[in-house]
Structure 1
């Protein structure tokens, strides 16, 4: 029961927490939507109901018709229900003005170019006037209306002044235009921050009024100059008529003075020319001397350089000879050391080979000596056996040994499970005959080995024994040998198989 209550309470708590989170999110969204901030170059214009009391809040403006709005400069504001907020840019903007043909107070057609900077007024009423007339309009539309107002006032001031007044005192002209235009711009909510006349030129370039502004003064001065020139010419003629002789005398004197002056001039020029030529020749001679001296210095320096280079080459050659000598000494030492090493190696190799050959010869001599000794002992034993038993006993032992030897030779053939003999025809023996022939040849090799090792020719012994007619007495001989053998010691009986084994091994 308690568990169910806990679950119910936890569920209710979760639902309440969820609603609180949703409510907080909605509240934050509403607050963010209704809260506005203004930067330093902006103003917020708030319109709608319940803006506040204009008497207690200086940010609220109310006109004579009862319409009101709130203007926020910096900071932020929370909008109430059904209130709207419009940001206004307070940055200044520049307008270039060019008037059409305008006639000045003297009737001179001119064209003026001006540049002005305008911004929204800083005062509460100025921002209110701007909001009333331009809020919602685009930038180029606002600039067009302001340009028309400024252009109209610029033309008005141009028509009231003469060209001289405008051109000679542009500062006063700019101030007049700014004062008269600002009155209209105040009603529009704008403020002129600067105004300047950029250019003033003739509308008709053929007239050239501005270019001819100084011509009257120039003409007056020219007139006075011509009059003075005429008076001087008149006086000259009068004096000339009265004093022709004096003038002629004065002319002659003048010519004489001119001739003397020319003579002095020519003499002076000749002297100057002579001095100039002398100075030039001296300078050329000095130049040639200096040139020769410098050339001699250059040659001396070149000879010094060549001497230094030659000395350096000699030093380099000496160093090269030392290096080559050191290299030759080093190579000679290397060659000598290498030759000594190779000689030592050859000597050691020779001694080693000689020692090996010596040991090998000793071993071979020992083997030959032991082999000869064994063969001599075998022959001695064979001679003793021959002396004791005779040829018949030896033949009997070989005859007993041959079946055993034949059995050992044929033993590998007994391990063959199956054999196929193929007769290829021809005059030679068949396959089966070759098998028995191979066994017989193997056994015949025994008597050859026995002959080489012991010197006993089994074939010759058999032929000699048979030729003497001892074939029929062979059994009796075997019996006698056996009987005589029984009378010998046990050691003498054991010598026969030993002799046989030694002969077999041989």
Structure 2
């Protein structure tokens, strides 16, 4: 009896447990249970009950319980857009989203996606693609590259209201890549890439130069160390050689030192003898000679002074005689000038008188003057024959007289010569020249 009762009780317990499991629903941490049907009312009069993180009783046949995932979802974005510059770009990104944890978000998601959760990714992709195209259309390629954070924030802001309505929240939005088929972005990067490459080459060249300089400096230091070591080795070897040579020369050096000492003593003795001889020379020769020299110098100085005095007296006498002679010469010149002036006046008077007489009786004056100057005229005529070495004269003395008469009477020449002689303007030599000129014309 007891066993039957125990069995019945166990059976009832099993039935109760099985029935409880059938009507009790527990929500996992990453899901929410939406209970609808008889008596399912939420706190906000939603018309259904939302259960998260706990269990709830569900009456089969009267109530329905369905689950909605609260896991994060990933939607990859691949959108072809056109920038404000008209350049087509291909934007790749990723958006991580989920149903919000609050009851409002769960209710909104339940109303829209409950039973259609497989289509959520496609709808979210379309939503973000539309917003991305709209935002990119107002930006340049440079803005897309430089300000990706601004782009993502703009997308979040513009899609926030729609995501709330869908009961979704965005955990993360990333723009992964922006491509263009025209090569615009690549061309934008080329100057910078070239500058970076140039800087890299410059830096590499500098590093190579520094490395080469360091290597060369190390080689120089190494060579200097080797050189210093060799110099020290050579110095040590030289010291050893000097020590060996010094040791080998110890005997000869001692002998040479002994000989040197002898020479020093001999030199000292010779110097003493020389000093003694010099003292003797000083007393016997040099001092008497200096006395005689002093005497001669003194006498010579006295003679020189006497000669100077005598020369000065003679010079004074010469000066006085010169002044006297100069005075005499001056007086004599004045007397001669007076005599010449008187003579000139007398000659001028004579010339004037002769001119006056010539004007009154020219022929008589000429005859008188010819008579006075006849010897000179004859002498002048005879000089015409002075250069004749041999002369043949016919008719003897008569021929000579005829020749001389011819010379004196040729044309008016004789009279010209006579008048020139009378006037004193032609001397004997000029008269001879006049006669020779006449002979040459004949």
Q: Tell me the TM-score normalized by structure 1.
A: 0.36
Q: Tell me the TM-score normalized by structure 2.
A: 0.41
The structure with more radius of gyration: 2
